[in-house]
Amino acid sequence: MATMRAVDLIERKRDGGELSSEEIRWLLDGYVKGDVPDYQMAAWLMAVCVRGMSEGETVALTRAMVESGGQIDLSSLPGRKVDKHSTGGGGDTVTLVLVPLMAAAGLVCVKMSGRSLGHTGGTIDKLEAIPGLRTELTMAELLSQADRLGCVVADHTSELVPADRLLYELRDVTGTVPSIPLIAGSILSKKLAGGADAIVLDVKCGDGAFMRRHEDARELARTLVSVGNRLGKMFSALITSMEQPLGRMAGNALEVRQAIDVLTGAGPGDLREVVLALGGELLVLSGEARSADEARERLVSLLEGQEAWNKFRSLVVAQGGDVEAVDNPELLPRAMRVVEVRAERGGYVEKLAARAVGQAAGMVGAGREVKGQAVDLGAGVELLAKVGDEVVRGQPLARLHIGRPDRYEEAHAVLEGAFRIASERPGPPALVIERLP
């Protein structure tokens, strides 16, 4: 076979041609080893962004990414292994509730998560709001906890899918993030390396999501499910709305409190609904329930019977966290100052922009604006009104929990601008928009 040259593969993709699996693997392996330089990989990524990839190419890319590093082998553990992934949004507390709920249902759920960046939150930062809780676990700790408890939430180790870390950093600075095959390769490679048999994908759609338009979210969901299934695992996807934030909190300790509320039977209905819908998918996919209705009934009873809550407490203890702080959430980190945002007029909340809420939470310290920045665990936004609620002039709409004061005024203005109040009551907000396949 003739020697491959990166420039030939770049040119072929630039002209709309297709690469073979061997060519994709050669390029990716060469990049991970340092033989293919950043500038050639960046040029190829841009060609993919503009020209797209066939499904066969996306399968080859995903497989090569998975095989760029180690994989978690859960096969020695009894029970079905399940996992979930969200494409990211504001106030997405789902993982903190869903993981212990799956373990309470007798499934094994080892969830590798990330940190927040930009306007979206990250589960690892949220969990670190629980004093002492460790998320950097060794493989031996992770497997032993999965065996004993059925649930783990850990930081992505550098051993899994090193190709994704390298590619993501390059994509972030070369304008090549929004490409469906590249997003699919990135998400699926991490899920496949995580060792689960059945995986549900929460594809967020709307103002606070990567995919703002329904057609784009559907195309991403379709690609994820189809490529994922071709790689031998069971995948399904729900397209869920990120037009307004899910739940009422955006921020680390605030979202832990909210998760505790749902686990103890009190939390916001929209968050609970999305958890039940995603969990129901996993029960059906893994053969633990025959229908979505049966799955839902079982999950509701595990929430009401406190089984999921007890699993959450056990997870906190197993990972070294202070269980008193979850039994009494008043002990969780708090912001130094809380300021209200009030309604400028009366009427109905017609729009509540998820992206702006996430940005405001980030500005007061809940997120990072640059990599490596420290987050303030108590900071964030608490929403007191959501779409459809009737409000009177001067009524508090939200509270800003201020950790980092330097951008407080900007955050206040952004949060105020996130609410649109109209005279007419709007229709009910969308929640679970579509299921695939």
Considering only CA atoms, which of 427, 259, 39 is closest in space to residue 10? Answer: 39
Distance CA 84, CA 233 (A): 13
Q: Which region among 14-22, 46-54, 119-127, 182-190 touches ligand URA (by CB under 6 A)?
A: 182-190
Active site residue 186: yes
Of 62, 68, 87, 252, the one binding ligand URA by CB under 6 A? 87
Single out the catalytic residue among 125, 164, 202, 261.
Answer: 164
- 134-143 long-range contacts, Cβ below 8 Å, gap at least 24? 134/319, 134/320, 134/321, 135/319, 137/319, 139/72, 142/72, 142/110, 143/72, 143/74, 143/76, 143/77
Query: DSSP letter string over 195-216?
Result: T-SEEEEEEEESTTSSB-SHHH
Active site residue 171: yes
- Cβ–Cβ under 8 Å, residues 278 and 202: yes
Burial of 17 (0-12, 13-18, 19+ CB in 10 A): exposed
Window 371-430: residues binding ligand URA (CB under 6 A): none
Task: Using DSSP bridges, classify how beta strands 249-251 and 151-155 pair: parallel, antiparallel or unpaired.
Answer: unpaired
- Which residue number, 40 or 186, has a Cβ lying nearer to ligand URA? 186
> Is 45 a binder of ligand URA (CB under 6 A)?
no
To the nearest whole angstrom, how small is the minimum distance from the Cβ of residue 90 to ligand URA? 15
- Which residue number, 58 or 87, has a Cβ lying nearer to ligand URA? 87
- Which residue number, 87 or 123, has a Cβ lying nearer to ligand URA? 87
Considering only CA atoms, which of 171, 192, 168, 154 is closest in space to residue 70? Answer: 192
To the nearest whole angstrom, how small is the minimum distance from the Cβ of residue 24 to ligand URA? 17
To the nearest whole angstrom, how small is the minimum distance from the Cβ of residue 166 to ligand URA? 13
Single out the catalytic residue among 190, 204, 233, 313.
Answer: 190
Q: Which region among 1-9, 104-112, 179-187, 380-388 touches ligand URA (by CB under 6 A)?
A: 179-187
Single out the catalytic residue among 25, 63, 84, 85.
Answer: 85
Contacts with ligand URA by CB under 6 A: the residue count is: 6
- Which residue number, 89 or 403, has a Cβ lying nearer to ligand URA? 89
Residue that has been written with the tokens 């189809």 in this structure: 226
Amino acid 356 reads A
Active site residue 311: no
Q: Which region among 9-17, 63-71, 122-130, 180-188 touches ligand URA (by CB under 6 A)?
A: 180-188
Distance CA 29, CA 181 (A): 18
Single out the catalytic residue among 186, 189, 286, 314.
Answer: 186
Closest residue by beta carbon to ligand URA = 186
Q: In what order do the strands lie in the sheet with 380-383?
A: 249-251, 380-383, 396-402, 337-342
- Which residue number, 68 or 87, has a Cβ lying nearer to ligand URA? 87
Active site residue 164: yes
- Cβ–Cβ under 8 Å, residues 254 and 203: no
To the nearest whole angstrom, how small is the minimum distance from the Cβ of residue 65 to ligand URA? 11
- Which residue number, 187 or 225, has a Cβ lying nearer to ligand URA? 187
Distance CA 203, CA 221 (A): 6
To the nearest whole angstrom, how small is the minimum distance from the Cβ of residue 331 to ligand URA? 33
Of 61, 187, 360, 398, the one binding ligand URA by CB under 6 A? 187
Distance CA 323, CA 138 (A): 22
- Which residue number, 103 or 436, has a Cβ lying nearer to ligand URA? 436
Residue that has been written with the tokens 């936004």 in this structure: 381
Of 135, 186, 286, 319, the one binding ligand URA by CB under 6 A? 186
> Is 183 a binder of ligand URA (CB under 6 A)?
yes
To the nearest whole angstrom, how small is the minimum distance from the Cβ of residue 86 to ligand URA? 9
To the nearest whole angstrom, how small is the minimum distance from the Cβ of residue 189 to ligand URA? 9
To the nearest whole angstrom, how small is the minimum distance from the Cβ of residue 36 to ligand URA? 19
- 437 upstream amide cis, omega within 30 of 0: yes
Query: DSSP letter string over 29-76?
Result: HHHHHTSS-HHHHHHHHHHHHHH---HHHHHHHHHHHHTTSB----TT
- CA distances in angstroms from 156 to 69, 105, 397, listed in the order given: 12, 25, 36
Active site residue 213: no
- Which residue number, 95 or 314, has a Cβ lying nearer to ligand URA? 95
- For helices 21-33 and 38-51, what crossing angle results, to 10°? 140
Q: Which residues bind ligand URA (CB under 6 A)?
A: 87-88, 182-183, 186-187
Q: Which residues are catalytic?
A: 85, 164, 171, 186, 190
